[in-house]
Amino acid sequence: MNLDPDVLQVYAAPLAELAPGERVLAAVVTNAPMGLDPPLPPDGGDHPATAGSAAGSVAATILSPPKPGQGFFWWLLFGRSAAGAPTSTAAASRRACLGHHPLMLVVTDTRLRLYEPRDGAYFVDDAGNAAKPATERLLPLWDTPRSAVRSARVGWHRLHRNRLTIEFTDGSWASFASLFQMGRRKASTIVAALNG
């Protein structure tokens, strides 16, 4: 079992099935980092939240967003993980992340997409999963056109050594980070694909 799999190779078949006609440029397994988010879009938006994995539900309960009055301490420890209006692209992406852990960020020639890899958190190349149908390996969560992305960068931010930040053309931004799954080299492939 490979601890540092090539995500594009592992998920080539299910991505081809779930994104027909698109050319995948980069993919990485990551998470939505802890921190202050923008207000989430109201129910009934274009990108409704879907039920997450059991692990994601447990994590969401333990690491719940700050309650009123706790925002300063949450910001002090983790900073902001996204910013924008409730109707922004960043807010929609954060809503899609709720209850899902880990996430797979995919850049195609036309879209930026988020999936939940259902094969497991760290050992995504387990040979026993390769024969499963695409819908049992990847759950589509959210996407936006590449034209909605202004820029991307990776850098150090508080507790996140390799934090990937994506800025959108509506002025909002969202970050992704993972201590174990997304190092600087992997995050840089997403940056290069979005900025290219």
pLDDT at 17: 92
Write out the two tokens for 140. 């589509």
pLDDT at 159: 63
Q: Please, what are the averages of pLDDT over each run of 10 residues along the chain (196 residues)?
A: 74 90 93 80 48 39 44 64 92 91 93 89 67 89 97 79 91 88 88 94
pLDDT at 196: 85
Non-local (6+) Cβ contacts of 64 within 8 A are: none
pLDDT at 64: 45
Sheet with 160-168, edge to edge strand ranges: 82-83, 173-176, 160-168, 149-157
